[in-house]
């Protein structure tokens, strides 16, 4: 049963950059996961956190940015070490054909890579817009180049790689100027970025699927910790479409802490 | 003692509050924000109980906070909540809700309860208050619910400081004689009771040989505790004439009928949402109506307490 915590062994560790590592492992349930689904990953004695599945196959993976206690503990794991997972949870992305754009911010790419792989296999035309803080934060650029047949646009806050500026602004400029006829926009990244991307997509009448994040406890839709608008990120999401996103007035404005208090973003 | 008129088929009137059906969202489940509570109502719940709110905010315990055993859930959330003053924001948004809104509260002292009672008296959105003296994983709360003296005293304090709102007391099964606690609550001024809160429990991780939950102890809910909850409802209603909300492992209409036959006026649903989703309220309503029709009952009132016949 997917809700039972099961140990998996680290088969390989890939250092993506100075603060991001990918941990590869074998797991039968993850093998059957859909792109966009996530796991609750338990690092014994530290914490249990939601992480997107960043690779689906004989070897599966989670890709982790070092941002806090749990992810730091995760980064100490070596080949042969074990950690616990439960899941896969959530709905995942709906895969459509045609012409699509991927808009990703930083580690948000982790949720999107398995999707890009599938879309590529089904001969979609894919444009990718990806933003990083700076050149040293960039990862998977080569990987993406191999997977896509459309345009790859990179931006950094300081201009050290690609265009200087926020990727949401770069994306907005591009769609305003060229009015590409995207069939779907897939996005994952910081909530403020997603808010902006969604607002611009609405203006262009694009369909959107956004993978969102929130503080999570149960992962099975009962505790309410991960609520966004009337939705539970863990079990109604983490991927939401236009109608749902419209009902999340707080998206990118505030998030909720473990005590349910609003924290401005 | 208390007006218990049933209107229509699934409607129930308890404490002068009209519930369109007897399926109420249990405390601790989803009840942290107004949009989510509204969604539970749109999903067909006959009433909702909020997450337990204290005077001050609490972060709760770190993860892991839940274990799914298949036959039930063990949770050790640790009463996370934003505190009463901040929660008022959510309650303001819930004015005009189509079903009764029950505010679940807890307090570590009678002074806290006094302050809370005065604040809550002014809150129009709140139909009734459910006093949680039974959370098994937070020290200082579970102890209250185990002592008849403390229960009576806490309930009386709340009663004295709360105007125009009925008080429901949620009881713990982690006692040897639940009826004596129920009696103490009623003597303190409780208008109704909820039986039961979760059963104190724990889970060991055999890989590490350590308690799995970060909070060590948790509360068992779900199908595993239904027979215990039924027994508690039966015992209480055998002795006391007080409305009892049955709570513990309700997943199907059959479960609801069992609780009503044991003497409950309505049931609260929580863990079932993990397995059946929010559809559970509407689905059970339909199943319930079918059962009543099939058996020729005209209302739930006809079913209530049948198990007590001699």
What CATH number is attached to the domain comprising B249?
A: 3.20.20.70
What mean pLDDT is predicted for residues B239-250?
Answer: 98
Please give the structure tokens belonging to residue B232: 């508690």
Q: Which residues of A touch B60 (CB under 8 A)?
A: 217, 258-259
Say if the Cβ atoms of A256 and B86 lie within 8 Å: no
Q: What pLDDT does residue B7 have?
A: 38
**Residue B232 annotated as catalytic:** no
Measure the CA–CA gap between A24 and A26, rounded to whole angstroms: 7
Residue A22 banded pLDDT, cuts 50, 70, 90: very high
The CA distances from residue B10 to A5, A258, B255, B257, B287, in Å, are: 40, 37, 15, 12, 11
A interface with B, Cβ–Cβ < 8 A, is 1, 3-5, 7, 40, 42, 44-45, 47-49, 82, 217-225, 227, 229-232, 235, 247, 256-261
Q: What is the pLDDT of residues B191-217, one digit of tens each?
A: 999 999 999 999 999 988 999 999 999
What mean pLDDT is predicted for residues A64-73?
Answer: 95
Nearest to B32 among A1, A47, A224 (CB): A224
Closest CA to A184 of A239, A105, A109, A141: A239
- Name the pairing type of β-strands B17-19 and B12-14: antiparallel
Distance from CA of A163 to the nearest CA of B (A): 39
Q: Which of the listed CATH numbers 3.30.360.10, 3.40.630.30, 3.40.50.300, 3.40.50.80 matches domain A99-211+248-264?
A: 3.40.50.80
Q: Where in chain A is the domain with CATH 2.40.30.10?
A: 6-89
Say if the Cβ atoms of A44 and B208 lie within 8 Å: yes
B interface with A, Cβ–Cβ < 8 A, is 28-33, 35-36, 38-39, 51, 57-60, 62-68, 70, 73, 75, 77, 80-83, 86-87, 205, 207-208, 210, 212, 270-271, 273-274, 277
Q: Which residues of B touch A223 (CB under 8 A)?
A: 28-30, 65-66, 75, 77
What mean pLDDT is predicted for residues B166-178?
Answer: 97
Residue B126 pLDDT > 90: yes
Beta bridge partners of A41: A49, A85
Closest CA to B70 of A3, A34, A219, A211: A3
Please give the structure tokens belonging to residue B203: 């889970």
Q: What is the pLDDT of residues B22-61, one digit of tens each?
A: 999 999 999 999 999 999 999 999 999 999 999 999 999 9
Residue B244 pLDDT > 90: yes
Buried b (16+ CB within 10 A) or exposed e, B255-293: bbbbbbbbbbbbbbbbbbbbbeebebbebbbeebeebbe
What mean pLDDT is predicted for residues A15-37?
Answer: 97
Closest CA to B302 of B4, B3, B2, B1: B4
Measure the CA–CA gap between A185 and A200, rounded to whole angstroms: 11
Q: Is residue B179 part of a domain?
A: yes
Sign of the torsion formed by the C-alpha atoms of B215, A224, B110 and B55: positive
Instruction: Please state the φ and ψ torsions of residue B137, each to the nearest 5 degrees.
Output: -115, 10
Say if the Cβ atoms of A259 and B60 lie within 8 Å: yes
The CA distances from residue B18 to B21, B125, B169, in Å, are: 9, 14, 19
Distance from CA of A259 to the nearest CA of B (A): 4
Q: What pLDDT does residue A176 have?
A: 95
**CATH topology for the A6-89 domain:** Elongation Factor Tu (Ef-tu); domain 3 (2.40.30)
Q: Which residues of A touch B29 (CB under 8 A)?
A: 222-224
Report chain B's mean pLDDT, rounded to a whole number: 95
Residue A1 banded pLDDT, cuts 50, 70, 90: confident
Q: What is the pLDDT of residues B50-83, one digit of tens each?
A: 999 999 999 999 999 999 999 999 999 999 999 9
> How many domains, in total, are found in chain B?
1
Residue A78 banded pLDDT, cuts 50, 70, 90: very high
Q: Which residue in chain A has the smallest CA separation from B78?
A: A259
Q: Is residue B4 part of a domain?
A: no
Q: What pLDDT does residue A96 have?
A: 84
Structural domain boundaries, residue B134: 12-308
Say if the Cβ atoms of A225 and B205 lie within 8 Å: no
> The tokens 């302050």 sit on which residue?
B115
Q: What pLDDT does residue B205 have?
A: 93
> The tokens 């050290």 sit on which residue?
A160
Residue B8 banded pLDDT, cuts 50, 70, 90: low
ipTM of the complex in this document: 0.92
Residue A67 pLDDT > 70: yes
Q: Is residue B3 part of a domain?
A: no
The CA distances from residue B157 to B42, B115, B161, B167, B185, in Å, are: 35, 10, 6, 11, 11
Q: Is residue B155 part of a domain?
A: yes
Nearest to B60 among A42, A227, A258 (CB): A258
Distance from CA of B130 to the nearest CA of A (A): 18
Q: Is residue B171 part of a domain?
A: yes
Nearest to B80 among A47, A229, A260 (CB): A260
Closest CA to B297 of B310, B306, B309, B308: B306
Which DSSP symbol is given to B124?
A: T
Please give the structure tokens belonging to residue A14: 């890939």
Nearest to B63 among A1, A47, A261 (CB): A47
Residue B4 pLDDT > 90: no
Q: Is residue B150 part of a domain?
A: yes
Cis bond upstream, residue A49 (ω within 30): no
């Amino acid at each position: 049963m997917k809700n039972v915590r099961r140990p998996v062994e680290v088969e390989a560790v890939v250092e993506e950059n100075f603060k991001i590592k990918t941990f590869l492992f074998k797991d039968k349930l993850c093998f059957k996961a859909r792109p966009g689904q996530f796991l609750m990953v338990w690092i014994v004695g530290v914490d249990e956190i939601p992480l997107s599945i960043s690779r689906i196959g004989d070897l599966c993976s989670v890709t982790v940015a070092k941002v806090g206690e749990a992810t730091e503990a995760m980064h100490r794991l070596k080949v042969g070490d074990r950690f616990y997972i439960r899941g896969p949870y959530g709905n995942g992305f709906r895969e459509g054909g045609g012409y699509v754009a991927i808009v990703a911010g930083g580690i948000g790419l982790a949720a999107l890579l398995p999707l890009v792989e599938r879309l590529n296999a089904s001969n979609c035309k894919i444009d990718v817009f990806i933003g990083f803080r700076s050149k040293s934060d960039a990862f998977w650029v080569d990987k993406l180049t191999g997977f896509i047949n459309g345009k790859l646009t990179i931006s950094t806050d300081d201009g050290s790689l690609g265009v200087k500026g926020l990727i949401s602004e770069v994306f907005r400029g591009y769609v305003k100027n060229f009015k590409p006829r995207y069939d779907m926009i897939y996005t994952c990244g910081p909530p403020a970025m997603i808010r902006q991307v969604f607002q611009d997509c609405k203006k262009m009448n694009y369909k959107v699927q956004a993978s969102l994040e929130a503080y999570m406890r149960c992962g099975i839709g009962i505790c309410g910790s991960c609520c966004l608008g009337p939705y539970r990120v863990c079990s109604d999401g983490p991927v939401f479409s236009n109608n749902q996103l419209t009902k999340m007035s707080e998206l990118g404005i505030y998030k909720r802490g473990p005590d349910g208090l609003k924290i401005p973003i | 003692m208390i007006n218990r008129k049933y209107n229509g088929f699934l409607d129930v009137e308890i404490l002068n509050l009209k519930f369109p059906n007897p399926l109420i969202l249990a405390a601790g489940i989803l009840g942290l924000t107004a949009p989510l509570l509204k969604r539970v109502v749109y999903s067909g719940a006959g009433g909702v109980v909020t997450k337990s709110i204290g005077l001050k905010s609490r972060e709760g315990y770190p993860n892991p906070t839940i274990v799914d055993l298949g036959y039930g859930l063990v949770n050790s959330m640790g009463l996370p909540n934003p505190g009463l003053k901040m929660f008022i924001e959510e309650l303001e948004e819930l004015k005009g809700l189509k079903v009764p809104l029950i505010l679940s509260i807890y307090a570590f002292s009678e002074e806290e309860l006094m302050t809370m009672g005065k604040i809550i008296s002014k809150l129009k959105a709140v139909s009734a208050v459910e006093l949680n003296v039974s959370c098994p994983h937070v020290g200082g709360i579970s102890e209250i619910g185990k002592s008849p003296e403390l229960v009576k005293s806490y309930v009386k304090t709340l009663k004295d400081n709360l105007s125009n709102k009925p008080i429901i007391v949620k009881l713990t099964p982690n006692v040897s004689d639940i009826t004596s606690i129920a009696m103490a609550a009623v003597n303190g001024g409780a208008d109704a009771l909820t039986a039961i809160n979760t059963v104190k429990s724990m889970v060991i991780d055999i890989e590490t040989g350590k308690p799995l939950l970060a909070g060590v102890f948790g509360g068992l809910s779900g199908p595993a505790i239904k027979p215990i909850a039924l027994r508690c409802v039966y015992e209480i209603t055998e002795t006391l004439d007080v409305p009892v909300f049955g709570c513990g492992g309700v997943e199907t209409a059959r479960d609801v009928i069992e609780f009503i036959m044991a003497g409950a006026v309505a049931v609260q649903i929580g863990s079932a949402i993990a397995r059946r989703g929010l559809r559970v309220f509407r689905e059970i309503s339909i199943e319930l109506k079918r059962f009543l029709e099939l058996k020729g009952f005209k209302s739930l009132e006809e079913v209530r307490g049948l198990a007590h016949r001699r």
